[in-house]
Amino acid sequence: MRNWPFISVLALALTMPGCASVRTALSPAPAKSAATGAKPGAAAPWMDTALSPDARAELLEAQMTLDEKISLVHGVMATPLTPEQTIPAGALPGAGYVPGIPRVGIPALKETDAGLGVAYVMGLRRDGATALPSGLATAASWDRAVAYAGGAMIGQEAWRKGFNVMLAGGVDLERDPRGGRNFEYLGEDPLLAGTLAGEAISGIQAQHVVSTVKHFALNDQETGRQYLNVKIAPAAAHESDLLAFELAIESGHPGSVMCSYNRVNGPYACGNNWLLNKVLKTEWKYPGWVMSDWGAVHGTDAALAGLDQESGDQLDQEVYFGAPLLAAAKRDPVYAARLDNMVHRVLCSMFAAGLFDHPPVKTAIDFEADGKVARKVADEGIVLLSNPRNLLPLSATARRIAVIGGHADIGVISGGGSSQVAPKGGPVATIPLGGNTPLESFMHQAMYMPSSPLEAIRARAPNAEVAYNNGAYPAAAADLARRSDVAIVFATKWMGEGSDTPDLTLPNGQDSLINAVATANPNTIVVLETGGPVLMPWLKNAGAVIEAWFPGARGGEAIANVLFGAVNPSGHLPVTFPAALSQLPDPVLKGRDLPEGRPFDVSYREGADVGYRWFARRKLKPLFPFGYGLSYTSFAFGGLQVEGGKTVRATFTVTNTGQRAGSAVPQVYLTTGPAGEGERLLGWSRVDLAPGETKTVTVSTDPRLLANWNAAAQDWQIAGGRYAVAVGTSAQTPKLTSEADVAAQALEP
Ligand code: BGC
């Protein structure tokens, strides 16, 4: 563990025993323990909670037969893929199932998607789960406590439904705003994404549910995800996507890492010796187990490359970790040793997360309490993008309010794919978006959560006349807007797993709708429910704009809270909103123009300069920069002092200079370093302030953020010299600047 300044993480690391004794992937199994012959059950020595998870795993492994070991390292997708298929007895319908071994008391692994709530699989089951807002909303909160609370809530629901593994922890960086799964992830910056993923994972695992971190690695687009080959220099990878994983792993201690579908510098990620054995298990000393993504294994030799468990094995060409691995282990001591290590890793994580000691108990869910957690994430994640005339917050005195479009009468949209959560009683509407195959059609559906913004607005403005128009005809919507004091237009952009969007427009003519309404009434507020950044050709005409992302189970209420000022917005963008496609490293998404199934290489031009760093390098002015977000109050910053030495530490004051209580999110950036390092987020703080209040804030920097990865020496190295630092309200809005000397050093691994 490196020094990490956040108390909640430290506290957790101290209270949750991990799998500390790390054996490298190919090292031989330990000598058999003296526990031979012990009986399972309470008396079994591995059930002694005074022992470390490692010691317990070792005692248990020693009792297992070869067949039992094999059965622990592969599992099925526990979803009938055709009407004839059934799921194994004892399995829960969900993403995955690895049978237990009752003879020695090993519980089955019952796995559910995903990071936004209990999805079972693709929201097929409708017995109800609470949907968090999208990952981007959590990231926009910049709030560690909110990320932890969201994880704890969904982990608790998973446990109460009988699951003990959650396939959560998505932390792939947003390299391209068209990426179909960006909404599940936590944005474009490794520090922000890795920190919040670590919190969410900790929250889940505190419920005795193993969390993954996924998809390892560089699974940054959906187009060609099964066969594209990401070509990236090890240094660029370490300083970007891998750093997000590294931070999430060291603070969250996920029991498992899910490797991804794509290839990285040649080999598939799930059979990639460099990624799994070298980076993950040797450099980072990761002690847990690597599970494959579903259908991502291409051979038994993936075991030697560091894969520990084959998931959804009926989706692979063969059950590579079944009979073929058994035969290899009988024949070849290297495979036999590897199998022992694979089993050790699985068992150790199971012990560490409490799967043996605190098995799930099916119990009722308190949807009211859990809904509040989801609403809080949405409250904090909504970003006020534009409010030039202070049209927001709306006063309760507005007499006639027009609510237009976005199905705001019934609910809020959610993102699609394996992370799709279905609320209790099912979604209030499911809109088919079409596809060329049954699977595509199944994946492409827009589900609406039953949290109507229209009703929430009516509840906040009981004396107003609130009328709804569905926005199908811009002229009719404009008529209603003209007759109203204020018009609120809802615009949606669905995104989902398995496909990227071709561009950054709002679909279905919604730009024309907004233009027509804003022309009819300048008091037009645009509420965006999108999977990520969109272009806003109507921005100058809009009276105000908020980005509500996919706002989850109680999204309608959260939107109304912000519109009426019950919540003072404090969300800040975790991604850059480009002004045009031409600003992106690749104006045409890689592989988009190729026939389906044709393998291709992706050499991301931006290297480690993902998102705002690319914009800084190219001196581009985005529509809205990373880190940006307005408030109903105003903040002033002062007294910056930057201390150098081994790292940098910035101390400054933040004052609420407005009339309302609010939360500031000052961000500390490296603007230049002696080795030419460009813009990098070094840290941030969320500061709650009453009107007139001032607080002093100190932000310490993880030295890796000042360093570059040296591929030859295999370590992080800081060039000694003067580092320029800015405190800003976004990556492009510095408020205070200073400099400090930092010592040249190679960081200890
Ligand atoms: C997705 C994973 C998911 C798994 C199981 C895969 O297609 O990429 O994120 O956890 O399915 O549903």
SS3 of 624-641: the string is ECCCCCECCCCEEEEEEE
- Average pLDDT of 513-530? 98
Q: 113 CB under 6 A from ligand 1?
A: yes
Residue nearest to atom 3 of ligand 1 (CA): 418
Ligand 1: distance of its center to the CA of 139 in Å? 21
Q: Are strands 109-112 and 96-98 parallel, antiparallel or unpaired?
A: antiparallel
Other beta carbons less than 10 A from residue 704's beta carbon: 20
CA 220, 224, 227, 228 dihedral sign is negative
Write out pLDDT tens, residues 33-79.
334 444 444 579 999 999 999 999 999 999 999 999 999 999 999 98
Write out pLDDT tens, residues 160-209.
999 999 999 999 999 999 999 999 999 999 999 999 999 999 999 999 99
Can you give the pLDDT at residue 524? 98
Can you give the pLDDT at residue 662? 98
| Residue 17 pLDDT class (50, 70, 90 cuts) | low
Ligand 1: distance of its center to the CA of 294 in Å? 6
Domain boundaries, the chain: 30-78+94-353, 367-563, 631-747
Asked whether 723 and 673 are in contact (CB, 8 A), the reply is: yes
Can you give the pLDDT at residue 442? 81
- Average pLDDT of 368-382? 98
Write out pLDDT tens, residues 283-314.
999 999 999 999 999 999 999 999 999 999 99
Can you give the pLDDT at residue 79? 87
Q: Among residues of the chain, what percentage have pLDDT more than 90?
A: 88
Asked whether 113 and 120 are in contact (CB, 8 A), the reply is: yes
Which is the closest atom of ligand 1 to the Cα of 119? Answer: 12
Host H or E run for residue 350: helix 333-353
Q: Whole-angstrom distance between the N-terminal and C-terminal Cα of the chain?
A: 9
Q: Give the whole-angstrom CA distance, residue 478 versus residue 632.
A: 28
| Residue 122 pLDDT class (50, 70, 90 cuts) | low
Q: 121 CB under 6 A from ligand 1?
A: yes
CATH superfamily label, 367-563: Glycoside hydrolase family 3 C-terminal domain (3.40.50.1700)
Rounded-to-10 torsion of CA 134, 140, 146, 151: 30
CATH superfamily label, 30-78+94-353: Glycoside hydrolase, family 3, N-terminal domain (3.20.20.300)
Q: Give the whole-angstrom CA distance, residue 355 versus residue 594.
A: 45
Residue 24 buriedness (CB in 10 A; 0-12 / 13-18 / 19+): exposed
Write out pLDDT tens, residues 712-730.
999 999 999 999 999 999 9
Other beta carbons less than 10 A from residue 111's beta carbon: 30
Q: 63 CB under 6 A from ligand 1?
A: no
Tokens of 247: 């931070």
Tell me the residue length of the chain.
749
CATH code of the domain occupying 631-747: 2.60.40.10
Write out pLDDT tens, residues 68-80.
999 999 999 998 7
Can you give the pLDDT at residue 111? 97
Tokens of 442: 């199944």
Residue 11 buriedness (CB in 10 A; 0-12 / 13-18 / 19+): exposed
| pLDDT at 29 > cutoff 50 | no
Question: Is there a common fold for 30-78+94-353 and 631-747?
Answer: no
Q: 213 CB under 6 A from ligand 1?
A: no
Write out pLDDT tens, residues 213-270.
999 999 999 999 999 999 999 999 999 999 999 999 999 999 999 999 999 999 999 9
Burial 402-437 (b: 16+ CB within 10 A, else e): bbbbbbbbbbbbbbbbbbbbbbeeebbeeeebeeee
Which is the closest atom of ligand 1 to the Cα of 214? Answer: 9
Cis peptide upstream of residue 234 (ω within 30 degrees of 0): no
Can you give the pLDDT at residue 42? 54
Q: What are phi and psi of 696, to 5 degrees?
A: -100, 135
Task: Choose which residue among 167, 215, 225 to substitute to test ligand 1 binding: the one with the highest number of ligand atoms within 8 A of its C-beta.
Answer: 167
